Structure 1
């Protein structure tokens, strides 16, 4: 059972999160708080495995709360202010969700958090590194190196110090390598980073707009600092325009 605490100064937002999280087997809510100072004391005392936090709160922000903890739990930020996303990932957040929260987006983030927590506690296989060859890369799983073909990868998401690989088969794999390390080693003609939290396989792009793109049926946000590079790498001179 994975325990969690919600901290948000908006009680309606807490109710919304609780309504959806209560439907997920294997999760247990320890407490909810509207005051970050009060929450901090209980987090230290109760030691939940997962925190779900707002960013802007009176007196102490969610970012400040996490920074104040010596050994913070896995953390998900939920905020209506996307400008705080960089700060959230700088404190190794699992994810940053923009309000209003779409239930399917919340579920996907919780899945990623559960994978990370189970990995850390040793209840799933240890994928502690990866290496590259010509048309594939290898993920180390305990004492075995598993070969993953580039074409089988849809996209890769950051999960704190880990990365989660999403496959065309709808399965996923947690890797003990952060997104920066994976970006540095994966071939740039096949993979491109589209935000602080995602790398995509160019082969599987079905469409691209000014701030989002689709990998098959999955819509992913393009970060503003990455947009120019993404358009150059993905579209380049291959766009046929109306005369």
Structure 2
């Protein structure tokens, strides 16, 4: 079993102890630090490799948001907070999940499921290879290579340094950020609609001010800073 190092940062003692209690129910999650302020937590990150941050947001001196800005090298950040108004900013800082207090074990278990799914994808991801002509890409997965026609790709989904390439039949994960992938000439037909999503124009069925419906029924969000990218679709 792989073990993942976690730290818990919350200035509220009861909330902090509750997260500690829930985390200890998962033997693959190893707590290496428990802190009531972000400044003390920073010093540990200089000595230990941390995989997961469980962070409050509203803390004295340094908020959980400011703390995350200094710890972007940690792959997984989960916010546990009483302030839902910070949700958008937290996801701009690549938070994997955002939990509103008071937290309960059922909600925490769903977060752990998301963490495990993300880590599994990250572990299995292989290098992306651009080859086989202009309308087909080759994706290496283990000892197998899959040919994927560009027009069969419904959308791209960002997972930090990885990108999911989603077709009707399968989801492939490649070790390349969505931003770098979209710079490749083969992906010029894709439109970035959100920090986490890019789609192909021909698959758009409907559009609202906040969402895009693809013609296979998939609903994807539109990011505020990407709305102009969809001005062509009326």
| TM-score exceeds 0.5 | yes
From the CA coordinates, give the structure whose radius of gyration is larger.
Answer: 2
For 2:132 and 2:9, the matched residues in 1 are separated by: 41
SS in 1 for 2:130: strand
CA contact (8 A) 1:139 1:148 kept: yes
Please state if 1:84 is matched with 2:89. yes
Q: With structure 2 as the length reference, what TM-score do the two structures score?
A: 0.67
CA contact (8 A) 2:78 2:99 kept: no
Q: CA RMSD in A?
A: 4.1
Please state if 1:73 is matched with 2:74. yes
Post-superposition offset of 1:228: 2.2
Please state if 1:112 is matched with 2:105. no
SS in 2 for 1:112: helix
Post-superposition offset of 1:144: 5.8
Listed as ranges, the gaps of 5+ residues in structure 1 are 119-123, 237-243
For 2:156 and 2:133, the matched residues in 1 are separated by: 18
CA contact (8 A) 1:86 1:196 kept: no
Post-superposition offset of 1:108: 4.7
Name the CA shift for 1:72/1:207 in 2 (closer, same or farther; >3 Å).
same
Listed as ranges, the gaps of 5+ residues in structure 2 are 102-106
Q: Say which of 42, 47, 50 aligns to 1:48.
A: 50
After TM superposition, the structure 1 stretch with the greater mean CA deviation from structure 2, 172-181 or 137-146, is 137-146
Name the CA shift for 1:112/1:34 in 2 (closer, same or farther; >3 Å).
same
Task: Give the paired residue count.
Answer: 218
CA contact (8 A) 1:66 1:72 kept: no
Name the CA shift for 1:182/1:16 in 2 (closer, same or farther; >3 Å).
same
Name the CA shift for 1:29/1:180 in 2 (closer, same or farther; >3 Å).
same
Name the CA shift for 1:48/1:56 in 2 (closer, same or farther; >3 Å).
same
For 1:153 and 1:105, the matched residues in 2 are separated by: 29
Tell me what 1:136 maps to: 136
CA contact (8 A) 2:125 2:141 kept: yes
CA contact (8 A) 2:161 2:175 kept: yes
Name the CA shift for 1:164/1:136 in 2 (closer, same or farther; >3 Å).
same
Name the CA shift for 1:48/1:67 in 2 (closer, same or farther; >3 Å).
same
Name the CA shift for 1:162/1:87 in 2 (closer, same or farther; >3 Å).
same
Name the CA shift for 1:230/1:36 in 2 (closer, same or farther; >3 Å).
same
